[in-house]
Amino acid sequence: MESCPHAAIVVDHGPDLAPWEYWRQFHPNVHSLQDASNPGFAAGCNRGAEYALRHGADSLWFLNNDATLIEPTLDELLELAQDDPSVSLWGTYQQDGDRLIGCSTHKGWYARASKGALKRQIICYRAPTTEKTVGCHYEWLEPNQSLSGASIFLLKDAWVKLGPWPEKYFLYWEDAAWCLRAHQLGMFMDLAPLRIAHAGSATTAKRSPLSTFYGARNQLLLHMEAAPKARFERLLLKCHMLQKCIFRGRWRLLAPTWRGIVAASKRKGGRDPRY
């Protein structure tokens, strides 16, 4: 599907670890790294990147385990990155059924923490459509926006400058935290006119106790890192999380929300043994 020379690195976190021969049927040049302890998406990305760079890679494309390619993408991402070296990170649109999802937009505290973010000159290229058409379309990220970790591409130099994914944000918000660091370093990010198929919450299930716990905890952890002095704003955020469970009748999510709030208050990151 892709013409440029590349290798696929699968970081397998189990629980049932597949042998290398299993992955070999999907790609002619595949490498499998296994860790049944499941340290999280960010840790898997970092391990895969370290392995790739050690074996001579000059670019990295991070794909979520539930992302599916629906058109040639890697060749075009590499071409975009080489044609515009001012952009450090490239994301893609996500096709979720009939919905085309772009970047994530956050509250004001995220933008305030993006101190190094700068606006760049508008660039023109074709927008993602079923039939590829040419037109003016730009999706450089504002200071309050981040790329989805489902698909992020960058060259080796950008990786060296940005550093590894933040592993304390197990399961959720690691992409937002990574992009926040890029904003603060003044690194430009763009949404490329390309698509992958990605069903939201396909792995963890939407509004499950697990996704609720990590979603609440990690958002608060990032808020504490981005705006450490905004204690009142953080208190309001906690109240908002709890009231959503109460007034929307999501009683089974009240306990994991509260546990997430408590864990964040104790600054406990990484994987929690309860989930």
**pLDDT value of residue 14:** 80
The one-letter amino acid at 239: C
The reported pLDDT for the residue numbered 122 is: 45
Instruction: Report the sign of the C-alpha dihedral through residues 171, 74, 46, 85, in that order.
Output: negative
CB 41 within 8 A of CB 64: yes
Task: Supply the pLDDT for residue 128.
Answer: 54
Q: Residue 93 in contact with residue 128, Cβ under 8 Å?
A: yes
B/e letters for 62-93, b = 16+ CB within 10 Å, e = fewer, are bbbeebebeeebbebbbebbeeeeebbbbbbb
pLDDT digits (tens, 9 = 90+) for 247-268: 999 999 999 999 999 999 999 9
- Confidence tier at 205 by pLDDT (50, 70, 90): low
For residue 181, what pLDDT is reported? 97
Q: What is the domain partition of the chain in residue ranges? A: 58-198, 209-265
Alpha-carbon separation of residue 32 from 13, 37, 68, 238 (angstroms): 10, 15, 18, 40
How many Cα neighbours within 13 Å face the side chain of 75? 7
Q: What is the pLDDT of residues 29-54, one digit of tens each?
A: 889 898 988 999 999 999 999 999 99
CA-to-CA distance for 261 and 196, rounded, in angstroms?
A: 33
Residue 213 — very low, low, confident or very high, per pLDDT cuts 50/70/90? very high
Give percent of the chain with pLDDT exceeding 90: 73
Range 89-110 average pLDDT:
93
206 has a pLDDT exceeding 90? no
- 232: Cβ contacts below 8 Å, ≥ 6 apart: none
Give the pair of three-digit tokens for residue 195. Answer: 């698509």
Q: Residue 265: what pLDDT? A: 97
What distance in Å separates the CA atoms of residue 222 and residue 193, rounded to the nearest whole number? 29
What is the average per-residue pLDDT within 191-210?
Answer: 82
The pTM score is 0.89
Interior angle at CA 172, CA 168 and CA 177, nearest 5:
60
